[in-house]
Amino acid sequence: MNLVERDLNVIWHPYTQMQTAKPPIPIVRGEGALLFDEHGKSYIDAVSSWWVSIHGHANQYIAKKVAEQLKVLEHVIFAGFTHPTAVELAERLLQIIPDNQAKVFYSDNGSTAVEIAIKMCLQYWSNKGHKRGKMLAFKNAYHGDTFGAMAVSGRSAFTEAFDNLLFDVEFIDLPNAENIDELKSHISHLQSDLACFIFEPLLQGSGGMLMYEAKYLDELIAHCRAEQVFTIADEVMTGFGRTGERFACDHLQQQPDVMCFSKGLTGGTMALGITTCTQQIYDAFLSDDKHKTLFHGHSFTANPVACSAALASMDLFMQPETMANIKRIVASHVAFGKKIKDHPKVKDVRQTGIIIAIEWETGAGTSYFSTLRDKLYQYFLDAGIILRPLGNVLYILPPYCISNEQLGYIYGKIEEALNTF
């Protein structure tokens, strides 16, 4: 049996209708922006392997640091114990995120980082003896696949089977010049029930690369602060350079109370999640009463190997070349966007930082299940490019090491596809 046959015998893949999906592509090696299958065919990883790989694959510096850490300490329980890489990573992360963030809570993926953020805000109010159990989120949001994270995500095909079990969340539209005042008065109206407002800053990823302006998010955050509603910036996808700055919050004047990180945190090397919060939130859990403790922890909380990957990734991220690469990709996308925006098949082209999204004119409305999606996906795979359209929204979200030649090749194939489908 070959690898694919053995896979199909024993494995159930994520977000995959196993009856109709094509067999998985067996990848045996990665290098920079490229992945290689077992026959030696190369693919440009234009989606950073589900948005995690920021420095490209099999980065030798990260590999070296991880290998060193593995020989020294692979894991230690994180309740009652600590270790150098967790402390150093927390110190260094706090230096580069908004300066109101005071404490770092570790977990092991983006969904758990969100669960912890929600629990921090809900239990803050419970510890203070207030009844504030409702949450505010954007329509079309995506915050993860565990129950709490799913509850604050927009209702969709992903959540349908569980809708009656998801807790009480108020969904609002993305803010713009027309609706901002209405949104603010809505928040004021709900205020005494609201524990927190969670959002993906500037850009809703899984929702279809939907983008909105920093100034209106600033207004919402300021308004929430005035109404004592905590704000949670889910930077799981936007963090570490994706928006053209280090963090999406760097585009804002206001600072959120809680932040979530994962995906690019370890450069896409290992699973790790971080939730940070303000001193005010942390302080509400300090008590002689044990009931006020944040009772949350995962077996692999602050795994030293994952923390060492994150530290190595941060070393690379802080090098001037990385930001230069980010700016290079941003400029390159801008030029490509201008070139194709008037193509009859382009309904919309939009960009935030290194992410460019092209919405295909389909006649019908956007659908995650559109057949166009499958055709485009296969077309690019055949051309040696991994692009996974969200319905009729095609996007490029590359690792920063992608070359101009590789970008040019992707753009060329997209133009070909625009003329084909």
Chain contacts with ligand PLP (rule: CB under 6 A):
109-111, 114, 142-144, 200, 205, 234, 236-237, 262
Q: Shortest approach of ligand PLP to residue 200 CB, angstroms?
A: 5
Task: Name which of 267, 397, 263, 384 is nearest 330 in CA terms.
Answer: 397
- Give the residue closest to ligand PLP by C-beta: 110
Q: In what order do the strands lie in the sheet with 385-386?
A: 27-31, 34-37, 42-45, 385-386
Q: Which is nearer to ligand PLP, 150 or 394 (CB)?
A: 150
Q: Which is nearer to ligand PLP, 98 or 184 (CB)?
A: 98
Q: Which is nearer to ligand PLP, 111 or 269 (CB)?
A: 111
Chain-centre distance for alpha carbon 360 = 23
Q: Shortest approach of ligand PLP to residue 204 CB, angstroms?
A: 8
Q: What is the DSSP string of 311-326?
A: HHHHHHHTSHHHHHHH
The answer to whether 349 and 340 have CB atoms below 8 angstroms apart is yes
Q: Shortest approach of ligand PLP to residue 142 CB, angstroms?
A: 6
Q: In 10 A of CB 38, how many CB atoms?
A: 13
Token representation of residue 108: 């092991």
Backbone angles phi, psi at 307, to 5 degrees: -65, -35
The DSSP secondary-structure symbol of 154 reads: P
Q: Shortest approach of ligand PLP to residue 9 CB, angstroms?
A: 26
Instruction: Give the Cα-Cα-Cα angle 246, 252, 256 (nearest 5 degrees).
Output: 90
Q: Which is nearer to ligand PLP, 200 or 219 (CB)?
A: 200
- Alpha-carbon span 359 to 344, nearest angstrom: 11
Token representation of residue 368: 């995650």
Q: Which is nearer to ligand PLP, 65 or 143 (CB)?
A: 143
User: Which residues share a beta bridge with 34?
Assistant: 31, 44
The DSSP secondary-structure symbol of 173 reads: P
Q: Shortest approach of ligand PLP to residue 145 CB, angstroms?
A: 6
Q: In 10 A of CB 246, how many CB atoms?
A: 19
Q: Shortest approach of ligand PLP to residue 319 CB, angstroms?
A: 25
- Alpha-carbon span 237 to 243, nearest angstrom: 10
Tell me the three state secondary structure of residue 210.
strand
Q: Shortest approach of ligand PLP to residue 352 CB, angstroms?
A: 13
Q: Which is nearer to ligand PLP, 235 or 359 (CB)?
A: 235
End-to-end CA gap in the chain: 36
The DSSP secondary-structure symbol of 80 reads: S
Q: In 10 A of CB 31, how many CB atoms?
A: 14
Q: Which is nearer to ligand PLP, 30 or 239 (CB)?
A: 239
Q: Shortest approach of ligand PLP to residue 306 CB, angstroms?
A: 12
- Alpha-carbon span 63 to 117, nearest angstrom: 30
Q: Shortest approach of ligand PLP to residue 118 CB, angstroms?
A: 12
Q: Which is nearer to ligand PLP, 113 or 414 (CB)?
A: 113
Run of H or E residues at 276:
strand 273-278
Q: Which is nearer to ligand PLP, 219 or 234 (CB)?
A: 234
